[in-house]
Structure 1
Amino acid sequence: MTAPTGSENTVLCALVKSDLQSAAQLHSRCFADGWSSETLKKSFDIVGTLGIGACQCWEGERCEGRTGQRTLSGLAIVRAIGDQADLLTICVDPDYRGKGIGRRLLAASEEAAHRLGAAIIFLEVAENNERATCLYRQAGYIIAGRRLNYYTDPTYGATAVVMKKTLAGKDTE
């Protein structure tokens, strides 16, 4: 799949049940141990879990509110429980990277967590994923710790860096 070069745009949309198969395919394009559609479905069965998709729409298409077979160029899944949230996963199709989609998904995840009452959001990122770590630092995340042997796939290295961010307008004290 290659990124189109016409008058496309990206619209952020809620992930729905009909997106699970394409979301699983996207996740597998981005991660060697990508989540299956069943794993994605189970994650959405937990209260406080929201999925955000980056949907590609081209001139003349109606994208807002559209469901069914749509082209996902990225996705994020966030879960908020009480005053804390976790960014469970975020990914952008390799063909669409460098277009600000990851930054938009990250911001939308933070906004969703904030709306659900979270004051702080956490995430894990592979220690050797410099591109993602840079994005998170630019967005205001700080290192909160490390998890040794977190990843089983050697592509990522074994260590995860835990990062956190206080959400705007929320006090964690």
Structure 2
Amino acid sequence: MKRNILAFMAVMLMLCMSAQTSQAQLKRFSIGPYVEAGFPTGDFSTTHNPGFGVGLGADVKLIAGLTAVGSVGFDYFKGKTIDNGNTKIASAKVIPVRLGLRYQLISILYVKVEGGTANFTGDYNNGTGALVAPGLGIRLLGLDVEGKYEAWFKDGTHGFFGLKAGYNF
């Protein structure tokens, strides 16, 4: 898990340095923080409350309208007490590492699909699973707001609808 995160950070750092030196005026690379709110669906909603996430995202423009995107973050969903108060579910603490593509439909509207790994930490479902996250958003100057559905696949599906807001420099 640490190796994946370090490799991602190293690649983003190299892209940042090369993009700034070679294409500084064209702004082909951007990086910035984001926050998100998540609303569990399906079986995940019966065991967990709505959650939140924070992280760092980056993107590199490829060709007209197409951009490579990536992010690493931390998501937290508090566990519920179920079965008439007899069973307490552990909170889900997840480190998602995502890579994907974004396509600009019109001037500020885009669609995006990301895939990657969901690294579960703590007492709930410890280990690594896969993830997929399609979304639709708007980007105006550096402000990025996206609605998405994200699913983590490890011992079943842990899905949620999310609202993500970030700012890219």
Regarding TM over 0.5, the answer is: no
Largest Rg, 1 or 2: 2
The structure that is strand-richer by fraction is 2
TM-score, normalization by structure 2: 0.31
More helix by share: 1
The alignment's TM-score, normalised by the length of structure 1, stands at 0.31
